């Protein structure tokens, strides 16, 4: 953007922010920054401007770069919730595009401040994830200098392989399990025995109180694998535990973004459209260019296609918010924004009328790759939309036992997952875990055909 366009963007942004506040949007301060396209591709790959180094991010970067160069993935902005929020705009965007992006970011900021899932993480960890991620990266750099890249990378392999295996219902800062079972309440005193004890010579010998039995570890199936390994791997060094807990903290930060993507992108799109409509200070030509960009963002499928087999979260979310506001009013929409995530949003507010209007359906593919429409049942459509979001999109794995010899036993909850594991991938991840656990690791699961399988990672074999 030229210097004149930058000046105009600053003016537009200030006036749009004032308009947003006048229209009732509430958010933490937003720091806007223009960044080159190459930097935005890096953020898309790493997830954060500064993050722990690992080869997997390099692979994501190459994939993102190829998609970007082929025109399949254009990045307009990246926004990080917090206090303040941080928003990066592409310096190669047009003035109209970045004016729309400013309005879009304010919608994101309002959602992040008011949605209960975002607010919960903010209360647990504070609003400074960029600084925390940079501190994590700095500590890992220190570890590389102290113990070498190979050792650190082995720990990162394990931690990042388990990145989605966190319990999002738990607090960020968790205590270890109690070591002893609670003492059962003392029996009520017998009045006769109490009087008998008062007789001369009738005192019974005093017995030492019994030690309460040790509590099992874990006391229940534990789905927070990163936390459990960091707390109970007896041979782990402190820098290894720090890496596991750092990956866990960043994973918990990203969960609201993942679990509210349809709501969040739809809310931001609803508000950028509404703010631009109300921004009578914008030149007509800029407004028309911005609305053209809006149409490109919220269209249901790629240009030239007549149908799509995947849902565009911008399109679905925007359409649902417009539908809710039209039928129930803005205050009801704000209530939904506060209380729901994508699971409740889709199940409770995607109705038959809207599903038919959007032409939604479920589909099946046979072994030859032929696609056919399976049906238009509303409940099946809802579940098909949200199914990839269960458990962070990962198989549901729990620690079920910790044997006396240190063997870690994991169980795949395939009944709730509704799927088997790719055994080759599972064996590779199990090997990563074994390297940091340093004792045998077993996994009970089923394969793609539903047959029971037990995998073992043990240096003896």
Mean pLDDT of 219-248: 97
Provide the pLDDT confidence category of residue 304 given band limits of 50, 70 and 90: very low
pLDDT at 303: 45
Sequence-distant (6+) residues with CB within 8 A of 186 are none
Beta-bridged to residue 454, according to DSSP, are: 444
> Residue 320, Cα to own-chain centre: how many angstroms?
22
Instruction: Name which of 113, 93, 111, 101 is nearest 275 in CA terms.
Output: 101
Long-range contacts of 284-288 (CB under 8 A, 24+ apart): 286/95, 286/96, 286/99, 287/96
Q: What is the predicted pLDDT for the residue at 209?
A: 59
Mean pLDDT of the chain: 89
What is d(CA 50, CA 100) in angstroms, rounded to the nearest whole number?
Answer: 26
Mean pLDDT, residues 332-336? 98
Residues 48-100 pLDDT 10s: 899 998 878 777 767 676 765 655 567 889 999 999 999 999 999 999 999 99
Confidence of residue 407 (pLDDT cuts 50, 70, 90): very high
* Paired tokens of 377: 């049942």
Q: Which residue has the higher pLDDT, 201 or 361?
A: 361
- The per-residue pLDDT for 206 is 54
- Encode pLDDT of 175-221 as tens digits: 999 988 886 654 455 666 666 566 666 555 555 556 788 889 999 99
Proportion of the chain in helix, strand, coil states, percent, rounded to 5: 55, 10, 35
pLDDT value at 398 more than 50: yes
Higher pLDDT, 214 or 370: 214
Domain boundaries, the chain: 129-171+216-257+395-457
pLDDT reading at 8 higher than 90: yes
Q: Which pLDDT value is given to residue 67?
A: 66
Q: What mean pLDDT do residues 360-370 have?
A: 79
Rounded to whole angstroms, the Cα distance separating 235 from 101 reads: 49
pLDDT tens per residue, range 158-171? 999 999 999 999 99
**Mean local confidence (pLDDT), 304-324:** 83
Whole-model pTM: value is: 0.88
Q: What is the pLDDT of residue 373?
A: 77
Query: Per-residue pLDDT for 6 more than 60?
Result: yes
> Under a CB-based contact definition with an 8 Å cutoff, are residues 320 and 354 in contact?
yes
Residue 321 pLDDT grade (very low, low, confident, very high; cuts 50, 70, 90): very high
pLDDT of residue 461: 43
């Amino acid at each position: 953007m030229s210097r004149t366009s930058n000046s105009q963007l600053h003016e537009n942004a200030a006036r749009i922010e004032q308009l947003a506040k006048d229209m009732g949007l509430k958010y933490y301060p937003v720091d806007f920054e223009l960044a080159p396209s190459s930097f935005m591709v890096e953020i898309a790959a790493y997830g954060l401007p500064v993050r722990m180094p690992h080869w997997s991010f390099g692979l994501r970067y190459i994939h993102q770069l190829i998609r970007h160069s082929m025109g399949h993935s254009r990045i307009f902005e990246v926004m990080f919730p917090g206090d303040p929020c941080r928003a990066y705009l592409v310096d190669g965007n047009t003035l109209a595009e970045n004016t729309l992006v400013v309005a879009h970011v304010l919608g994101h900021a309002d959602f992040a401040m008011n949605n209960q899932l975002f607010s919960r993480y903010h209360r647990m960890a504070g609003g400074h994830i960029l600084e925390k991620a940079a501190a994590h990266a700095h500590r890992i750099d220190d570890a590389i200098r102290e113990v070498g890249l190979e050792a650190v990378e082995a720990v990162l392999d394990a931690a990042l392989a388990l990145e989605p295996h966190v319990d999002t219902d738990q607090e960020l800062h968790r205590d270890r399990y109690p070591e002893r079972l609670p003492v059962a309440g003392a029996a009520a005193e017998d009045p006769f025995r109490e009087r008998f004890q008062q007789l001369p010579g009738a005192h019974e010998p005093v017995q030492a109180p019994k030690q309460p039995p040790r509590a099992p570890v874990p006391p229940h199936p534990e789905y927070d694998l990163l936390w459990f390994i960091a707390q109970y791997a007896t041979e782990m060094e402190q820098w290894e535990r720090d890496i596991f807990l750092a990956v866990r903290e960043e994973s918990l930060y990203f969960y609201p973004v993942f679990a509210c993507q349809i709501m969040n992108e739809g809310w931001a799109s609803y508000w950028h459209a509404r703010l631009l409509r109300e921004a009578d200070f914008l030149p007509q030509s800029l407004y028309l260019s911005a609305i053209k960009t809006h149409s490109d963002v919220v269209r249901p499928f790629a240009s030239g296609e007549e149908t799509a087999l995947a849902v565009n979260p911008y399109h679905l979310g925007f359409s649902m918010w417009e539908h809710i506001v039209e039928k129930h009013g803005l205050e009801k929409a704000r209530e939904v924004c506060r209380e729901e995530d994508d699971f409740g949003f889709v199940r409770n507010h995607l109705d038959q009328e809207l599903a038919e209007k959007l032409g939604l359906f479920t589909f099946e593919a046979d072994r030859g790759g032929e696609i056919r429409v399976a049906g238009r049942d509303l409940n099946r459509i809802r579940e098909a939309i949200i199914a990839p979001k269960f458990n962070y999109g990962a198989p549901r794995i729990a620690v079920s036992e910790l044997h006396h010899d240190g063997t870690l036993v994991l169980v795949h909850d395939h009944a709730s997952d509704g799927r088997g594991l790719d055994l080759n991938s599972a064996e590779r991840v199990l090997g990563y875990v074994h390297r940091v656990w340093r004792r045998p690791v077993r996994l009970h699961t089923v394969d793609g055909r539903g047959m029971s399988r037990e995998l073992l990672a043990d240096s003896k074999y």
